[in-house]
Amino acid sequence: MTRSVRRTRRTLQVAGAGAAALLALSACSSSGNSSGDSSSAKSDSTSSASASGKLSGTVTVFAAASLKESFTTLGKEFEKAHPGTKVTFSFGGSDALAASITGGAPADVFASASPQTMKIVTDAGAASGAPATFVRNQLEIATLPGNPDKVASLKDLTNSDLKVVLCDKAVPCGAAVQKALDASKLKLTPVSYEEDVKAALNKVVLKEADAAVVYKTDVKAAGDRVEGVDFPESADAVNDYPITLLKDAPNAGAAQAFIALVRSAEGQKVLNAAGFLKP
């Protein structure tokens, strides 16, 4: 008895999901195809046109960990502007995200923290059209609150009394730090090369390390748990953040609209407030 009820419910669920998928497919064939190969500049108008139409379903966005706060805000704005849509995120290291996309993860949008990681996706032929740079991120030194060690420059971090953590060179923030160090001909020996930018920041938040070199946005997101110190060499190591629609996107129409929102003046306002620079 209960089993049969459960079974009918499941059949209904499957049917519903199928119908939703069909709707989503038809939605993207009306809006997605027309803009799929065109330049990203044109996609703004396409998506705003389809916005008045029928966007629905779930948009799955894979985004760099540093975008967590701002993209979550943008996702909520998107859902409000397009009732019936839902934006789900997978935040993580850009490399790991790129690997799961090329491995066949069902995602609609990929926003990465560096062109190199985006290249993994475009080289595999998993992107639709050319990725567009939507923000840039600059490095900043994160110190303990109140800056007790009086760190004022990148050179101050070479003081061997200080426990400094950096990102590993294998991840974008580490590569950027290395670029800044090379440009200023400084040699810096950290106590640890952390596996991603948030791990490096957290060692300072937990007061295990005295300083870390992270992104400006991470310092901002940490609030008063760390203090940020700007350094001029960071201008030599600015990271571009590219975003792209994915070729096998299950919900391409709504995904286009989300990318448009990220790149719109409104989206830029949210991103700038988080500490990102204009592209």
Partner 1 sequence: MTGGPRRRRIRGSAPLPLLLPALIGLAFLVLPLVALLIRAPWRSMPDLLTSTEVWQALQLSLVCATAATAVSLVIGVPLAWLLARVEFPGRGIVRALVTLPLVLPPVVGGVALLMALGRNGVIGKWLDAWFGITLPFTTAGVVVAEAFVAMPFLVISVEGTLRAADPRYEEAATTLGASRFTAFRRVTLPLIAPGIAAGAVLAWARALGEFGATITFAGNFPGRTQTMPLAVYLALQSDPEAAIALSLVLLAVSIAVLAGLRDRWMTAS
Euclidean distance between CA atoms 116 and 240, whole angstroms: 10
In the bound state with partner 1, the residue whose beta carbon lies nearer, of 203 and 263, is 203
In the bound state with partner 1, the residue whose beta carbon lies nearer, of 126 and 261, is 126
Euclidean distance between CA atoms 92 and 190, whole angstroms: 24
Residue 149 lies near partner 1 (rule: CB under 8 A): no
CB of 119 to partner 1, least distance (A): 13
Beta-strand pair 164-167/211-215: parallel
CB of 175 to partner 1, least distance (A): 9
In the bound state with partner 1, the residue whose beta carbon lies nearer, of 208 and 248, is 208
Per-residue contact flags (x/-) with partner 1 for residues 253 to 272, judged by CB under 8 A:
--------------------
H or E segment to which residue 167 belongs: strand 164-167
Closest by CA to 231, choosing from 170, 181, 171, is: 181
Euclidean distance between CA atoms 212 and 167, whole angstroms: 8
DSSP 276: P
CB of 208 to partner 1, least distance (A): 5
- Judged by CB under 8 A, which of 23, 49, 96, 124 binds partner 1? 96
Largest Cα–Cα distance of the chain, in whole Å?
76
CB of 207 to partner 1, least distance (A): 4
Residue 193 lies near partner 1 (rule: CB under 8 A): yes
- Judged by CB under 8 A, which of 192, 238, 247, 277 binds partner 1? 192
Locate 10 and state its tokens. 């499941």
Residue 236 lies near partner 1 (rule: CB under 8 A): no
Locate 169 and state its tokens. 């060179």
Interface segment toward partner 1; rule CB under 8 A; list 19-27, 38-46, 49-57, 188-196: 188-196
- Residue that is written with structure tokens 């923290």 in the block: 113
Give the three-class secondary structure for 111: strand
| Residues in 155-184 at the binding interface with partner 1, rule: CB under 8 A | 163, 165, 168-171
In the bound state with partner 1, the residue whose beta carbon lies nearer, of 49 and 96, is 96
In the bound state with partner 1, the residue whose beta carbon lies nearer, of 95 and 233, is 95
Give the three-class secondary structure for 149: coil
In the bound state with partner 1, the residue whose beta carbon lies nearer, of 54 and 163, is 163
- Cα distance from N-terminal residue to C-terminal residue, the chain: 61
Euclidean distance between CA atoms 208 and 192, whole angstroms: 11
DSSP 237: G
The residues that touch partner 1, with contacts defined as CB under 8 A, are 93, 95-96, 163, 165, 168-171, 190-195, 199, 203, 206-209
